[in-house]
Structure 1
């Protein structure tokens, strides 16, 4: 089979996907690489792509800047392609000098680029992570147009050596359709995970070791030999590839982007000292719905729930629909506290039936005591279903088709739904004491074996074996 592997400058991605490509090649597949720009060649020189075809979107964009969209692609819906990246540019404004012509040309060229690549190299499979940015979104749309496979790798929600394979943006149908024929090993995982849920210690795999935590030591993070080395690599890139910067849409001037990253983290650190006044302790006598805040920018919102990325507006609408005497508990994301502006927290404080709950409060305790969970796409919704709690979701999350989950897009009837769930909760007070094993079984039927982003040969082989098994064919 012919694989096109996508690579950008995300930390650790280049090394990992090159290793996946090497293993696929060893098994007889043909490997091609599509890179967003040449920046990754400078940042990760030690991970070379020597003997395989590699194509750069930045080169294509520069050469075809005024090329119109190919006629074959006119029917593809294009309005959402750039949305995730533009949300990121809102937080890191590296493209303030760009206007409509630039964005329209970028939109067109992304589609043309992947159409030409898949056609020229007779690509069967595009391999990357789940759709998370414009580069991946365009490849995904072209795969759909040409009836090719997009394989997106995503970390498991369970703390085991498992991962998800996404062939669509909304994988909820695939999750509920997965056949329930669990192996003995999966049954052991099921039993262990049930115990973890009962003990309130079932942390998702992707949250382990996350560097955006409030406990991060930014002094050590930014003042290190690794950062100094990266600085010189960026200077080298800016000097030698200065003509590419305009066409490097994901990074622009990468040194400026790094400054914006550092600035946001510094402002967060400053805000943390002022935010405790906005935090409320949960009260065991309160009746409440639980709303977990999201981390921004991230594909879980900008791709899976683009209509609701303005969370303060959504929370305001939800608060208007709350039954009398019932609160909306807005719980801080453990890795995002302080990134929102002071104005965000002030607006929350003005809503009399909304309480901001600190990130350190036990989420499982809050789930059990809540009437229901309201969320965009948070894993907290999945965890609530495990405790037989109703969940209202606004985004295309993997569990939205599970029993007990209400996919919602009509605010007119939200107040009625809240009232119904409140009444039902008073009749089912003991339901949360039992773990919903059926939900875990269905998810275990969907995930595959392997541990992502571990650059050990045995782990790479396991991941490739799972991908080949999923595709149902080998070279």
Structure 2
């Protein structure tokens, strides 16, 4: 079917749709995706689920949907290593595709000791699992968030090989807009292509979009992306976060999964121990906060570059900047390659402060040329006072560009082609990167303004309207899905 905006009616499309939804332990995401599944089913679309482990089947209420579902951990337990399959996919970086969950496991203590045989079997099982689902199920599209973990990453790899449309719901930095991501490493390409079309006069953009973009840039100092308002990771209260009825109900549902063999539940391990570990992690964070403050410094009247710390683990680092997730080592390299007379201000992350141990802050504060700043310091003011921003993939880098500041970038991100961005190739070339950032700008102030406006317009054109929040309660999630479903349907039809 196709959605008619004026009549609000869906009409049949020529190709039959069959949609696979990925489901795992991401908190509350199932409310959103289950609402989408129900909506698709009501429109005659066949829906199936790929679930990471039995605990997620129960917690995410998969059986209530009445859909077919396949559990990966069960499949993994019975899977024999297929070296021929690994060879067939060897043109993909399969080891890097595992990294996001390895990073999570190190942070949350999920896996413990694992042999090389385990990792080889895991790669083989993931490829085989999704090949079997796609080939036998005849799925035309996969729905999830942007590629953010190994479960999704291997699914995306198989989708590429099988010509299946991977549709990842992803937040944008533009307020009131979100996007559909089909390639985690290529978001910049769509923006670059749109800018080229604008330059050639091949794209007719409504005047209202130009006006909206111009107003957005003017107000960038007072604008916060939607996802920062939704994630609530700045809440350090143990009582508010954990001693709530919904949390207690969740734990009670998972208790029956405490026993048994969790070796093959690679994303969650023992779900009860995992939940306990998350609670202890937050508790340790809360207890650390008073002791961290002694490592913070106040900004001074001096020449500096700004480095915003990232939240870990998340896809922006473990997928898009995997070589630099050890931020201490990255910051140390930057500190020893700064131009003479400059400092590096390392600003803590409001959603992450206190998660690293005290040793991390102590080592940062001990580095020459480095000052650690509180997360409460005003970021936009620091950007404006700085000589540029150094970042892995942070939103701060994007905001710096709109404030006409140079950015030194380590990872892959949608703004990486901006002319004010210097991408780090070799770490040994950092000093020259900084020298280049301090040279006379190759663009005039007017040229930067013109490019920024085109950049935001192009970004706007590659997003759709809606405040994407994947962590809503069931009723709110259903309302959001009702609002954005025509946009998803148009995307599904376009992928046919």
TM-score when normalising by structure 1: 0.91
Aligned partner (choices 271, 275, 299) of residue 258 of structure 1: 275
1:357 Cα deviation from its structure 2 partner: 1.4
User: Which consecutive residues of structure 2, in runs of 5 or more, have no partner in the other structure?
Assistant: 1-16, 199-203
CA distance in 1, matches of 2:205, 2:227: 23
1:74 Cα deviation from its structure 2 partner: 4.8
CA distance in 2, matches of 1:354, 1:77: 35
Q: How does 1:28-47 map to 2 (within 5 A)?
A: 28-45=44-61
Aligned to 1:64: 79
Question: Is 1:381 the equivalent of 2:401?
Answer: no
Moved more, 27-36 or 183-192: 183-192
Aligned to 1:354: 370
Aligned partner (choices 238, 243, 256) of residue 223 of structure 1: 243
- Checking the alignment, whether the CA contact within 8 Å between 1:289 and 1:372 is kept in structure 2 is yes
Aligned to 1:55: 70
1:185 Cα deviation from its structure 2 partner: 5.3
Deviations 1:298-337 (A, max 9, x none): 1110000110011111111111111111111111111111
Change over 3 Å in CA distance of 1:113–1:366 after alignment to 2: same
Q: How does 1:162-241 map to 2 (within 5 A)?
A: 162-170=177-185, 171-178=187-194, 181-183=204-206, 186-187=209-210, 189-197=212-220, 200-213=221-234, 215-239=235-259
Moved more, 417-426 or 116-125: 417-426
Moved more, 181-190 or 271-280: 181-190
Give the aligned length. 466
Change over 3 Å in CA distance of 1:421–1:66 after alignment to 2: closer
1:402 Cα deviation from its structure 2 partner: 1.6
What secondary structure sits across from 2:33 in the alignment? helix
Q: How does 1:252-291 map to 2 (within 5 A)?
A: 252-283=269-300, 285-291=301-307
What secondary structure sits across from 1:164 in the alignment? strand
Moved more, 220-229 or 10-19: 220-229
Aligned to 1:87: 103
Aligned to 1:153: 169
- Checking the alignment, whether the CA contact within 8 Å between 2:236 and 2:282 is kept in structure 1 is no
1:159 Cα deviation from its structure 2 partner: 2.0
CA distance in 2, matches of 1:433, 1:175: 17
Runs of 4+ in 1 over 6 A off after TM superposition: 425-435
Question: Is 1:466 the equivalent of 2:487?
Answer: yes
CA distance in 1, matches of 2:209, 2:449: 23
1:67 Cα deviation from its structure 2 partner: 5.0
What secondary structure sits across from 2:50 in the alignment? strand
Deviations 1:132-160 (A, max 9, x none): 00100000000111222211111121221
1:184 Cα deviation from its structure 2 partner: 5.4
Aligned partner (choices 32, 35, 54) of residue 16 of structure 1: 32
- Checking the alignment, whether the CA contact within 8 Å between 2:237 and 2:286 is kept in structure 1 is no
What secondary structure sits across from 2:168 in the alignment? strand
1:100 Cα deviation from its structure 2 partner: 2.1
CA distance in 1, matches of 2:174, 2:463: 10
Moved more, 123-132 or 64-73: 64-73
Change over 3 Å in CA distance of 1:77–1:339 after alignment to 2: same
Aligned to 2:14: none
Deviations 1:150-175 (A, max 9, x none): 11111121221x11111111111122
Aligned to 1:437: 453
User: Which consecutive residues of structure 1, in runs of 5 or more, have no partner in the other structure?
Assistant: none
Aligned partner (choices 115, 118, 137) of residue 121 of structure 1: 137
What secondary structure sits across from 1:248 in the alignment? coil
Change over 3 Å in CA distance of 1:191–1:48 after alignment to 2: farther
What secondary structure sits across from 2:307 in the alignment? strand
- Checking the alignment, whether the CA contact within 8 Å between 1:5 and 1:34 is kept in structure 2 is yes
